[in-house]
Every structure is written in structure tokens, then in C-alpha cells.
Amino acid sequence: MHFDVAVSEITSTVNLPATGFLNPGTLLIIPNSLSQVTTTSSMKIIPDCELVYSPCAQSFNIEQYVSTKGGYLSTFHEPLSNVTITGAEGVKRMAFGSSINPRLLLTFIQYYTRWVMGQPNPDVDKSYPLGYQNPSFVGLYQQLRLLDRDLLAGYYGWRDGTLTVLTFPDGSTMRLDPTLNAGTVSLLYFFSKHLNYSDWLTALDPKTGFPALFSEMFDDPWVRAQETGPLFPPDMTQPPFILPFEVGALWAFTGGPHPAWEQESAFAALDFAPAADASGCVDSNAWVVAVAPGLIVRSGDGFVVLDLDRDGFEQTGWVVLYQHIATKDRISVNTLVNAGDHIGHPSCEGGTATGTNLHIARKYNGEWVSAGDQLPFVMSGWTAHAGIAAYKGTLTKGGQTITANQTGTAVSQIKRQAGE
């Protein structure tokens, strides 16, 4: 899609796998369909590991950085739900939730407000500090939500091939150079939504624009990327997972591949709901279980995060996110678990939900891993397949097929069998 050619038009001197990843150095022969098309520059602005919350930032201390800089953000507070959070806490919540690199979020705050390294730009509207004039998203944290949506849309839109053209506010368009990386495209996409072409060029100038500010605040991002290596190794495979519920318990497959976080991120999540006598948000005694051995590194606000490499960092290796886990009986942080151990009960806690359910998604090195394409979500031998739209899709195992249905009909029912 990036090169505007069909898969059948791409050839190689070796056999290409139908799924998974290509080895570095694999020769691909691709027709030059874009030779007469004006595209963006091929210059890469930011590595992927500096866009997502990856190993490049696993040791970065958000609170310490903000405090050390001593700007307005270091004393900033705002209400969120029933609590008051600091500026650093807001950045941290957003970084962990969306898996967007906190260094990048802080750079955007500085770019628009000067709050990180100084006192407020007097022209900044504190209700809309990042410039999103949306009355439903007032305050820094809510503005960061909209920023993250744009960054996620750019990154994962490029990853899945749905984003190939930038559209500027004046309606003009430009094809993205096919050799760009997802991190760079995310920034190009963000600024194209807010600036026309000439201002877009100024914002992205590597010597005076946003990239220069990023390097000023956090040094050369390409050095960190070189130390970390690629986010996805070519031999990457999913470790064995079991279905996230107890053997013999009746559940329904209610959501095929759909966004893991906000509506713009990768279609990395699947939904399941326990059998119940009533619909809606009802208490459940059903147990959600660990899909693999690991360490619980986050638990609260409806979320549980399982770290499979047990190093204590969400930014490295395989990580499984569970959402809508009830407060009652929810597992504690720093608990080591085996596959099948209890995590908690499904609920409506932790985000918007129309009924008691479990939302489950995978990350690898901080990047959301799509549930239904090159590296499908497989649990107890059931393989996820994407449908024609979000939440559609199937699970298949041998000759069996279970179809996602949000109302939990018979075609969506599933049980984990003994030995799975």
C-alpha cells in the first residue's frame, strides 16, 4: 500500500512468508508506481522507539525530569475525575495508557506552551493548551488525549497501510514517501492536520522546528534507537497463551480485533464477556486468568498489566493488558503468576463499557500488536482474524469458527477446555 502496488506485484529472489516478518536484507522487487507522483521528503525525523513508550524510555523518570526543569509544569495541578493530578502525573498516565513516549508528550507541551522549561506563553489558553478548541476536552490531560489520538492514528495508520496521503486544512494533499518509518509519519500526520503546507514545513524543520526542540530537550534520539535496535525482531513470535478464563466457564467472544486504546490505535484488542443472567454492567463472580506466566506490573483503575519477561518494565518484551477488571479481588502489583492464575473479575470499570466484559490486548516493546494480521492473537489454539470493521471477526481452531457478536449469541460462545 505504501508503494501503491498490489502484493501480487512484489517479487523476490527468495520465497516470502504469508505471515510474520521479513528478515533484514531481504530483496524485494517493487514496481515504481510513484515515479510521477510528488511525495514528502524521505528524511526520517524520529525513530519508532521514540514515538512509542519503548525500551528507549524504560528508565526515563517523568517526575524527576519535570521537577529538574522547574518550569510551570512542575507546579501545575488540575482535577481529573475525583482526584487532583500534577502535570507530571498527567503525562505519566497518558504515556502508560496509550503507550506514547513521555519524552514526545513533554516536547509537545513545551512546543505549544513553554510550560516544561519555563513560564507560560502568555498567548496560551489554559483551557486548550495544545490548541484543540474542543469544549469536551478542557485542560492539559484532556488535550493530551486528543494529541495521542492524532499520534496513534498516524503511527498505526502507516503500520496497517490505511494512511498513505496527508490532507492539509486547506484541502491540498501529498503522498507520503513509501520509505518512511511509522514514527516519522506520525509526526508528519499530526502537523498536517493543523498546518497548511508552508507552515507544516517550518514546524518540521530539523534545525529550527519541532525535531530541533526534541533534540534540545532529550539529546539525539537516533543514538538511543541504535542502542535499542528494532522494536520487532524478524524472528518474533507470540509465546503460548491460554484463553483468559477458567476451564469449563462459559464466555462469549463479543469483540473481534478493535482499537487497544482510544479509537485510533492498532486493532490489537479482543473482547470477551462472561455468561450472565442480566445484561449491562452487573457484578460478576467469573474469573479472568493469566494467559501466560509473568509479573503483574500495573493494577488499578480497572486495569491489570502482565509483564511476561518479568523485568518490571511495561516498555520491554511481551506485555498483556487487561481492561475492565473490577476492584474487588483484583490482583496486586508485583505478584508473580502462572498461566491460569486468577487476575480478577470482569466489570465495566476502567473506561467506557456497555456491559460487563474483558478487553485484552498485547504489546511488544511498547508497540500495540494487531490482533488479526501478520502476528495474530492466539489463545489455547484459537486464532483471531479481523473482520470487515472494528469488533467484527472470528476465532478459528481446526475446523471450528466462533464469530464475534456484541450481544453474546450462541455463535459467539466459547469455553476453555481441560488441557488448554
Is the pLDDT at 28 greater than 70? The verdict is no
- The mean pLDDT of the chain is 92
Please tell me the predicted confidence (pLDDT) of residue 9.
47
- Segment 95-124, tens digit of pLDDT: 999 999 999 999 999 999 999 998 888 889
Q: Which residues contact 63 (CB under 8 A, 6 or more apart)?
A: 86, 88, 89, 92
Q: Quick one: average pLDDT of 225-248?
A: 94
Please tell me the predicted confidence (pLDDT) of residue 6.
52
Q: Which of 382, 380, 383, 375 is nearest to 236 (CA)?
A: 375
The string of DSSP codes covering 97-160 is HHTB-HHHHHHHHHHHH-TTTSSPPTT--TTSTTS---TTS-SHHHHHHHHHHHHHHHHHHHHH
- Segment 181-215, tens digit of pLDDT: 999 999 999 999 999 999 999 999 999 999 999 99
Every domain range in the chain assigned CATH 2.70.70.10: 251-414
CB 310 within 8 A of CB 336: yes
Instruction: Determine the Cα–Cα distance for residues 293 and 156; give it in Å rounded to an integer.
Output: 28
Residue 194 is given by DSSP the state: H
**At the topology level of CATH, where does 251-414 sit?**
Glucose Permease (Domain IIA) (2.70.70)
Please tell me the predicted confidence (pLDDT) of residue 19.
56
Please tell me the predicted confidence (pLDDT) of residue 169.
98
Q: Which residues contact 291 (CB under 8 A, 6 or more apart)?
A: 241, 242, 243, 244, 306, 320, 339, 360, 379
